[in-house]
Amino acid sequence: MSPTLETPIEYLKGVGPQRGALLRSELEIHTYGDLLQLFPNRYIDRTRYYTINQLTQSPTEVQVIGKIVHLKTVQTGKTKSRLVATFIDDTGEMELVWFQGHKWIKENLKLNQPYVAFGRVAQYAGTPSMAHPELEALEEHQNSLRTAIQPVYPSTEKLANKGISNRALLKMMQQLFLETGGQFSETLPAYLMENLKLVSKREALWQIHFPKDQEGLLKAQFRLKFEELFFIQLQLITKNLVRKHKIKGMPFTQVGAHFNTFYTQHLPFPLTHAQKRVIKEIRNDLGSQAQMNRLLQGDVGSGKTIVAFMTMLLATDNGYQSCLMAPTEILAQQHYNSIQALAAPLGLQVELLTGSTKTAERNRLFAALADGSCSIVIGTHALLEDKVQFQNLGLSVIDEQHKFGVAQRSRLWQKNTVPPHILVMTATPIPRTLAMSLYGDLDISVIDELPAGRKPIQTVHRYDANRLKVWKFLKDEIAKGRQVYIVYPLIQESEKMDYKDLMDGYESISRDFPLPDYAISIVHGKMKPAEKEAEMQRFAQGKTQIMVATTVIEVGVNVPNASVMVIESAERFGLSQLHQLRGRVGRGAEQSYCILMTSHQLSQESKTRLETMCRTNDGFEIAEVDLKLRGPGDIMGTQQSGILNLQIADLVKDKDILQLARSYALELLKKDPTMERPEHQTLRAVFLALSRKKNIWNYIS
């Protein structure tokens, strides 16, 4: 019986149990199909052969035809040695060097036989040298299935040490095509292939592993990238449609007294056009029969909280309870303060539940939520506890949702027999391409406009040598009655060092801004929550002019009078973090400033980050640059890592293909939502097989 793509990998000739176990643990290759999906991450053009006299030191690999005329072992220490071969052709000689695996290499090399040596060249004392070259007998080289453009596969140190080199992987791939006869069935409907002029699945897989030329390779890459993104979009859009059809929401039919009174009499400032548009989108969702699942994106200070509060008022008007869950106590407290202030004129009681809430207070609150007398509660993870039972939870608002795990969020859904409406808020702007993939099953609203009267924050980059001028500027701002943040980096691995940086900084700032003229607050991760809170309150009440802190203040402090943010060692921060920190100022009507302090030694990437920060205040533009610099996995933070384990597509480079795939997926599902039509039978089978896999896409949002 011939093998299929489900056949375990150890059955492939040349693999066996030991290599099979390694491929499983190192590359998650369990079956023939998994190996087939191990796509090369780059290619080497092996159409050109160099002579020894043409070799120069170069970062790219080259290949040379010649023969080994001499072999010797050179001791380099008590236990270390290297194997050196003299390799010659008609134009000169070079050295081939191995630092390990001598015994095996010695036994297998033949002197005076023609070989093709392939590797990177370095020059030592005027002699070209190639370390750990790939060597292949010339005859074998000429007869092999190898193509002129050679694939380089993803690998690990462990695989290389155990002899599973790139060449070994290439041989396994050749063997796989021989054993399966390259018979891979088509996965996409014929009309789609025709419209997009796509090569067949079989042709694409052959060309991706054994490309005959650049044109064939590009066609194969386009086909496979489109397919991968197309199935992801089908999955996400289907989930959205299924939810809208199957998961009945609670219809909020009333726009009642609370909402109308607040809107007409108590709005603290006129809503921007963007806020009005978003509230309209939310009202449409809540009035329909389906459960709302909406992502609200808006930069720091764009006014997401008031939108969330007005959504809560709609729930209250329809007799339902609401909760807002934030990732930290500081942020929950801040939401509680602002929402309580908005609710007070309406006579609405707002409650707060965090890890610090005292037992007696908790018990009173649990009772109020269970009997429905408390209609709005703000909290942290504490809201997820089993003891928290609602009478009728109608709306869950989740702030900075990527800081919560998927399992945590789903526990909130289960607090009611009918799932509550969901509003997810984030101040981390997510580029459109990423949002389409990460949150393709949520509807997306964007507040892309700052409230009237807000001035854009002026951002400048200054070197440590300019510190005296910067300090003078701070003194001038403080003299005008303003307040200042000075933030130091915090990197987990070197907490001691960071703590020292912060304390050293605090001491020098205390010397330059002495009492009684200046008072300084300090906040860092080693303080108890109550101490942190007390220091932040002193700053918020204007009792101190300077707040020296680590990134604890990235989210959470709202002091409209603070007009300057100084970020020390700014090159050690990521772009989105710099943008979040900058958002702590610029909350009042005064002109605000962000000063990025660095040493003179900056990498190219750091320069790009600093230039971007100085050029723009637009969070979405910053997010696009960040995505290009860091890649999608990092942007979502470690909790979400693994989400974008794409096999061949790249969300940054392939965003045009992503948009194309999404538009085709939407069109197909509009005409045939269940993929029942005859032309979609194959597609449906592949789709169901993918959905059954424990694919991370099924657990997003």
Range from 121-130, 398-407, 476-485 carrying the lowest mean pLDDT: 398-407
Comparing CA positions, the residue from 214, 224, 232, 235 lying closest to residue 184 is 224
- Beta bridge mates, 73: 83
At residue 370, the pLDDT reads 95
- Report the Cα–Cα distance between both ends of the chain, in Å, rounded: 43
Distance CA 388, CA 371 (A): 12
Average pLDDT over residues 128-149: 82
CATH of domain 47-145: 2.40.50.140
By CB atoms closer than 10 A (0-12, 13-18, 19+), residue 78 is: exposed
Residues 542-597: pLDDT tens digits? 999 999 998 766 555 678 899 999 999 999 888 888 998 898 888 877 899 999 99
d(CA 345, CA 403): 33
Q: Is the CB of residue 121 less than 8 Å from the CB of residue 130?
A: yes
pLDDT computed for residue 698 by the predictor: 40
Lowest-confidence pick of 9-13, 141-145, 169-173: 141-145
Average pLDDT over residues 493-509: 75
Predicted confidence at residue 33, as pLDDT, reads: 93
The predicted-structure confidence for 3-61, as pLDDT tens digits, reads as follows: 899 999 999 999 999 999 999 999 999 999 999 999 998 888 777 789 999 887 766 67
Query: Residue 171 has which token pair?
Result: 């041989």
Greater model confidence, 533 or 162? 162
Which residues contact residue 225 at a Cβ distance below 8 angstroms, ignoring those fewer than 6 apart? 648, 649, 650, 654, 657
pLDDT reported for residue 631: 65
Q: What are phi and psi of 67, to 5 degrees?
A: -140, 155
In this predicted structure, what is the pLDDT of residue 440?
67
Which of 362-376, 541-555, 613-627 has the highest mean predicted lDDT (pLDDT)? 362-376
Establish whether domains 47-145 and 458-616 are of one fold. Answer: no
The pLDDT value recorded for residue 493 is 47
Quickly count: other Cβ atoms within 10 Å of residue 581's Cβ: 24
600-605 average pLDDT score: 89
Q: Distance of CA 343 to CAs 150, 337, 369, Å?
A: 66, 10, 17
Q: What whole-number percentage of the chain has pLDDT above 90?
A: 52
Q: How far apart are CA 283 and CA 277, in angstroms?
A: 10
Q: Where are the alpha helices (DSSP H) in 597-698?
A: 604-615, 619-630, 632-635, 655-671, 681-692
How far is 291 from 265, CA to CA, in rounded Å?
30
d(CA 422, CA 437): 19
46 closest CA partner among 191, 167, 127: 167
**Among candidate residues 293, 383, 289, 264, the one with its CA nearest the CA of residue 335:** 383
The structural domains of the chain, with segments of one domain joined by +, span 47-145, 257-287+303-426, 458-616
Q: CATH class for domain 458-616?
A: alpha beta
In three-state secondary structure terms, 425 is strand
Helical (H) or strand (E) element with 119: strand 114-119
Comparing 628 with 389, the larger pLDDT belongs to 389
Q: How many CB atoms lie within 10 A of CB 139?
A: 11
Indicate the average pLDDT of the chain. 87
Taking CA 75 as the corner, what is the angle to CA 71 and CA 80, rounded to the nearest 5 degrees?
A: 115
Q: Strands, DSSP E only, in 347-473?
A: 350-353, 376-379, 393-399, 421-426, 443-447, 458-463
Q: Is the dihedral of CA 341, 347, 348, 349 positive or negative?
A: positive
**φ/ψ of residue 256, rounded to 5:** -100, -160
pLDDT at 133: 92
Q: Is the pLDDT of residue 147 over 80?
A: no
How far, in Å, CA of 440 to CA of 582, rounded? Answer: 29
What pLDDT is stored for residue 205 in this prediction?
Answer: 96
pLDDT value at 637 more than 60: no
Token pair of 638 as six digits:
């470690």
264-274 burial, b at 16+ Cβ within 10 Å, e below that, comes to eeeeeeebbeb
CA dihedral 337, 342, 346, 349 (to 10 degrees): -20
| pLDDT above 80 (res 484) | yes
Which range among 108-117, 200-209, 430-439 shows the weakest confidence by mean pLDDT? 430-439
Q: State residue 319's pLDDT score.
A: 94
| CATH architecture, range 257-287+303-426 | 3-Layer(aba) Sandwich (3.40)
- Please determine, for residue 499, whether its predicted confidence score (pLDDT) is greater than 70: no
Q: Does position 355 have pLDDT exceeding 60, yes or no?
A: yes
554 within 8 A of 330, measured Cβ to Cβ:
no
Q: Is the pLDDT of residue 377 over 50?
A: yes
Q: Out of 29-33, 79-83, 316-320, 404-408, pick the least confident.
A: 404-408
Average pLDDT, integer, range 325-352 = 91
pLDDT at position 83: 92
| 439 and 426 Cβ atoms separated by less than 8 Å | no
Please tell me the predicted confidence (pLDDT) of residue 55: 86
What the block records as the tokens of 366 is: 């649990």
Query: What's the CA gap between 107 and 581, in Å, rounded?
Result: 61
Beta bridge partners of 350: 376
C-alpha distances out from residue 7 to 29, 36, 202, 688, Å = 11, 12, 18, 20
Q: What is the pLDDT of residues 271-302, one digit of tens each?
A: 999 999 999 999 999 988 888 989 898 887 78
Res 641 pLDDT > 50: no
421-465 pLDDT, tens per residue?
A: 999 898 777 776 677 666 666 788 888 887 777 788 999 999 999
**DSSP reduced 3-state for 69:** strand
**Closest Cα to residue 316, out of 393, 381, 425?**
393
Three-state secondary structure of 542-602: CCCCEEEECHHHHCCCCCCCEEEEEECCHHHCCHHHHHHHHCCCCCCCCCCEEEEEECCCC
CA distance 146 to 137: 13
Secondary element (H or E) of residue 85:
strand 81-89
Q: How far apart are CA 652 and CA 47, in angstroms?
A: 30
